[in-house]
Amino acid sequence: MSGRVTIRDLARAAGVSVSTASKALNDNGRMADETRARIKRIASEIGFRPNALARGLLSSRSFTVGLLTNDTYGRFTLPVMAGISEALVDHGVSVFLCAIEDDPALGKIHVDAMLDKQVDGIIATGKRVDRSLPVDLAGLPVPVVYAFTAGTPDSVTFTADDAQGAGLATAWLREIGRRRLAHVTGPEDFASVRERAFAFASEAGGNAPILYGVWSESWGHEAVARLWDDGGERPDGIFCGNDQIARGVIDALRERGVKVPGDVAVIGFDNWEILAQQTRPPLTTVDMNLKELGREAGLMVLSLAEGRTVEPGLRKLPCKLVVRQSCGGARYA
């Protein structure tokens, strides 16, 4: 209701010129401290807030960035978004969220809309670093940073350190005394699946079984059936490729009367809290620090927008292990 207060209103109210008012607010130019203070006081009294459109027109900075994603359920996007927003809100930057699914036309529409609005940069996020979004973000007039999605060679891409995360999990299983380890994971064509599996194998030994499948609870179930019914040695520690699989594994074990963590310790991947905490017992899992990743991506795109140049390439951020009851004890590392 209060209408919009312009700098002219402020100048009038303070009995100064528009340019003086502007300088007072931005701590520019030379002027009596008293004048500056008075103008600032009046500004807040009458609720003056500069019009970002006008300001952006002049500075060619809009203090907005765009977040492009094809992650429908937002399991990755939301924490990343939270991190971006948290890092950028202090800089007065707001974030456009554009969910484009896998639709190239929709992607283009959103990108164009953002460019029209003069976004200072774009962050592209996906679900896997070995696939790219269905839009071409090369050669845009604004910087682009990638997270969990494939970028151009000359750009900066953030992802989690899958190998390190898998290493943490496997090492922990060994540390708590498990010796017969297995890895139940997603489709082998995911780069992150291969990285995690490789790290698992390095730590657990080449004979430890690795079962590739899909990202679902039912695959976790089925994998347990295979491990238990094929007559081979049964594991006492299972590292799963994500939390959903882990959930399926735990449920299947319970149905077989196998105790978790007593007989078998189980570790997941993602720390998707709403799932991991509801699992019985609550799930020990690898956390990819998505929020922190978002923070870094946000600050990076801002840096680039401000003209800094940075080393392009893939940046792998470390994971942490969140220990809950599914493998005994409780530790945050």
Binding residues for DNA, rule: CB under 7 A, are 4, 6-8, 15-20, 22-23, 25-26, 28-32, 35, 48-51, 54-55, 57-60
Shortest Cβ 182–DNA spacing (Å): 60
- Whether the CA torsion 269, 271, 272, 275 is positive or negative: it is positive
Closest separation between CB of residue 42 and DNA, Å?
13
For 100-220, list the strands marked E by DSSP: 121-125, 144-147, 156-160, 181-185, 210-212
* Look-up of token digits 């164009």: 112
Burial class (CB in 10 A: 0-12, 13-18, 19+), 33: exposed
Residue 130 sits at the vertex; the CA angle it makes with 99 and 246, to the nearest 5 degrees, is 80
The 3-class secondary structure across 300-332, one letter per residue, is HHHHHHCCCCCCCEEEEECCEEECCHHHCCCCE
Contact letters (x/-) for its own copies, 15-54, by CB under 8 A? ----------------------------------xxxxxx
Would you state the structure tokens that stand for residue 124, as one six-digit string? 């592209």
In which element (H, E) is residue 151 found? none
Nearer to its own copies, 119 or 181 (CB): 119
**Burial class of residue 307 (count of CB atoms within 10 Å of its CB; 0-12, 13-18, 19+):** exposed
Binding mask 102-141 for its own copies (x = CB under 8 A): ----x--xx-xxxxxxx--------------------xxx
Residue closer to its own copies (CB basis): 122 or 204:
122
Q: Based on CB atoms, which residue is closest to its own copies, 41 or 49?
A: 49
Query: Could you tell which of DNA, its own copies, none binds residue 99, using a CB distance below 5 to 8 A set by kind?
Result: its own copies
Binding characters for its own copies, 229-268, by CB under 8 A (x = yes): ---------------x------x--xx-------------
Which string of x and - marks every residue 194-213 that binds its own copies (by CB under 8 A)?
A: --------------------
In the structure encoding, which two tokens stand for residue 215, read together? 């990202």
Give residues in contact with its own copies (CB under 8 A).
Answer: 1-4, 49-54, 56-57, 62-64, 66-67, 72-74, 78, 81-82, 85, 89, 92-99, 106, 109-110, 112-118, 139-141, 216-218, 244, 251, 254-255, 273-274, 278, 280
